[in-house]
């Protein structure tokens, strides 16, 4: 059994409009070099928007890859295509300075037919280079290689971060409410997420349960 957070009001339109489109349509200068060159990942510092966005993205479907604790970390994005194409393209632009200059666009992958339904799904993906500046986020969000909710999330999650979280892993229910898919977390962690949303943003939510093997779009 997995757990989802359902808001008692529709947030997607206002969040996308006020926070999302204002920030996501902003274009960042590329650090592309001629082929063969690599940007300096050791000295890169995250911008305020990148830091705030990362919190929401990692709470959602974004994940951090770190092979060993002595190694640096990369951000990986993998979303449904074509539904999230515009969103992923905007993330690609946001994190472009951290991506290999040889990667010009996110990649589109076609998966094998679903075993039960036979439906073929596609996804759109990209990964950054490894960066020391991402290590602290891996330390916050991963314990024993499993994603967790940081204890200091109330300090970390901003309105912009919430907007990215909803855009990353949110949807609208048949009753017009906003729903966030929190399948990666335990019931206790989801309850903690509820308290953060209430304390920080005065947002009332409820928890829904569903079968673990059921896809988000089913």
Tens of pLDDT, residues 92-106 = 999 999 999 999 999
Q: Is residue 37 part of a domain?
A: no
pLDDT at 10: 65
Tell me if 94 sits within 8 A of 49, measured CB to CB: yes
Q: Is the pLDDT of residue 158 over 50?
A: yes
pTM for this one?
0.84
Identify the H or E element spanning 56: helix 48-59
Confidence grade of residue 37 (pLDDT, cut at 50, 70, 90): very low
Q: What is the CATH number of the domain that holds 10?
A: 3.10.28.10
Cis peptide before 201 (omega within 30 of 0): no
Predicted confidence (pLDDT) at residue 49 exceeds the cutoff of 50: yes
Q: How high is the pLDDT of residue 43?
A: 83
The total number of structural domains that make up the chain: 1
B/e letters for 97-130, b = 16+ CB within 10 Å, e = fewer, are bbbebeeeebeeeeeeeeeeeeeeeebbebbbbb
SS3 (DSSP) at 188? helix
State the average pLDDT over residues 132-158: 97
Helix axes of 159-169 and 187-201: crossing angle, nearest 10 degrees: 140
Q: Once rounded to an integer, what is the mean pLDDT over residues 13-27?
A: 42
Containing domain of residue 79, as a range?
2-30+43-210
Mean pLDDT check: name the lowest of 120-124, 133-137, 175-179. Answer: 175-179
Q: What's the confidence (pLDDT) of residue 214?
A: 57
Residue 83 lies in a domain: yes
Please indicate, yes or no, if residue 35 is contained in any of the structural domains.
no
Q: How many CA atoms lie within 13 A of 132 on its CB side?
A: 7
Write down the pLDDT at residue 11. Answer: 67
Q: What is the pLDDT of residue 20?
A: 42
pLDDT at res. 1: 72
**What helix, strand, coil percent values describe the chain, rounded to 5?**
35, 20, 45
Question: 123-127, 175-179, 203-207: which range is least confident on average?
Answer: 175-179
Q: Is residue 146 part of a domain?
A: yes
pLDDT confidence of residue 106: 98
pLDDT at 34 over 90: no
Is 38 part of a structural domain of the chain? no
Residue 165 falls within a domain, yes or no?
yes
In a domain, 131, yes or no: yes
Packing angle of the helix pair 48-59, 85-94 (nearest 10 deg): 140
What's the mean pLDDT in 108-135?
Answer: 95
Instruction: Say yes or no to pLDDT of 190 above 60.
Output: yes
| Residue at 197 is within a domain | yes
| Percentage of the residues of the chain whose pLDDT score is greater than 90 | 71
Q: Is the dihedral of CA 98, 82, 65, 152 positive or negative?
A: positive
What's residue 3's pLDDT?
86
Give pLDDT tens digits for 163-176.
999 999 998 888 88
């Amino acid at each position: 059994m997995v757990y989802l957070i359902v808001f008692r009001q529709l947030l997607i339109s206002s969040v996308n409009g006020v926070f999302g489109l204002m920030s996501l349509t902003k274009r960042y200068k590329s650090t592309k070099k001629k082929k063969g060159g690599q940007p300096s990942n050791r000295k890169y510092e995250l911008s305020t928007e990148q830091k705030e966005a990362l919190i929401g993205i990692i709470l959602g479907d974004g994940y951090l890859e770190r092979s060993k604790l002595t190694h640096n970390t990369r951000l990986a994005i993998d979303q449904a295509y074509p539904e999230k194409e515009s969103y992923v393209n905007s993330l690609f632009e946001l994190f472009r300075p951290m991506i290999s200059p040889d990667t010009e666009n996110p990649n589109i992958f076609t998966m094998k037919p679903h075993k039960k339904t036979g439906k073929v799904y596609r996804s759109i993906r990209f990964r950054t280079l490894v960066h020391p500046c991402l290590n602290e986020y891996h330390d916050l969000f991963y314990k024993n290689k499993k994603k967790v909710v940081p204890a200091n999330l109330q300090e970390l999650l901003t309105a912009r971060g919430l907007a990215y979280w909803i855009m990353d892993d949110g949807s609208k229910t048949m009753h017009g409410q906003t729903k966030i898919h929190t399948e990666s977390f335990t019931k206790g962690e989801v309850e903690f997420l509820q308290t953060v949303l209430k304390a920080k943003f005065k947002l009332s939510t409820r928890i829904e349960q569903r079968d673990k093997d059921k896809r988000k779009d089913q």
